[in-house]
Amino acid sequence: MTNAFEIIFQAIPTLLAGALVTLQLTAFSVLLGLIGGSLVGIARLSHIVPLRWVTRAYVDFFRGTPLLVQIFMIYFGLPAIAQQIGFDFSLDRLAAAVLALSLNSAAYIAEIVRAGIQSIELGQSEAAESLGLDSVQTMRYVIFPQAFRRMLPPLGNEFITLLKDTSLVAVIGFEELFRKGQLIVATNYRAFEIYAAVAIVYLCLTLLSSQGFSWLEKWLNPVARQKQRSAKLS
């Protein structure tokens, strides 16, 4: 047992370095996914029928196919297609990982955004129009801020899911947390101890992320903030 703890202790610095890479990869992918997903989600509500069809096809494809297949399509498939048409094109592992995770995340975020916007009462839009706001201003100043607070719980779940899904990019050799664990196991052959340590690091990351989103949800909730002020005053 002592030997197992020594092996885990020796592996911790390498695993923490991998965890930092995992967090960076997740942050980039979620940011790009949030931007793309918001645009796709709003487009899903468009009155332009072809635009709705295209965005629906995008969402269905990336939600209906495995992320692992999407990673392989982007990392191996895109350069192969480019070479077939005469272009010398290649993707490094970081770009392929971010692109695959972002496109996949955007599909799920698009549905979160669409549902969040549709959850806002129609009277809010009518009131904004009566005040002279156009559709873009209504979405920016009235609908989206309210919808965003309702989106936070599912967005938090998507962040945590994406954080765990980053382990899949190990198949293309990207050295994030899980891949670091694989490389350590390849040198000491202590699979159970190392993978248990990897699992604990993932668990810590997901718990911290969950607490962070819970705090953000309360901070953006005016009712909860008012209760906190009242509690402090009393």
13's tokens: 């610095």
Higher per-residue confidence, 138 vs 111: 111
Cβ atoms 40, 110 nearer than 8 A: yes
Q: What domains are there in the chain, each with its CATH number?
A: 2-233 (1.10.3720.10)
CA distances 126 to 121, 123, 134, 139, 206, Å, are: 9, 5, 11, 12, 40
Task: Name the band, by pLDDT with cuts 50, 70 and 90, for residue 133.
Answer: confident
Higher per-residue confidence, 234 vs 170: 170
Q: What digits encode the pLDDT tens for the residues 27-85?
A: 999 999 999 999 999 899 888 899 999 999 999 999 999 999 999 999 999 888 888 88
Task: Name the band, by pLDDT with cuts 50, 70 and 90, for residue 232.
Answer: low
Which segments of the chain does DSSP mark as H helices, in order? 2-43, 49-64, 67-72, 78-84, 93-118, 122-130, 135-137, 144-165, 177-188, 191-219, 222-233
28's tokens: 């980039």
Q: What digits encode the pLDDT tens for the residues 144-202?
A: 888 888 888 899 999 999 999 999 999 998 889 999 999 999 988 888 989 999 999 99
For 89, half-sphere exposure in the C-beta direction (CA atoms, 13 angstrom radius) is 16
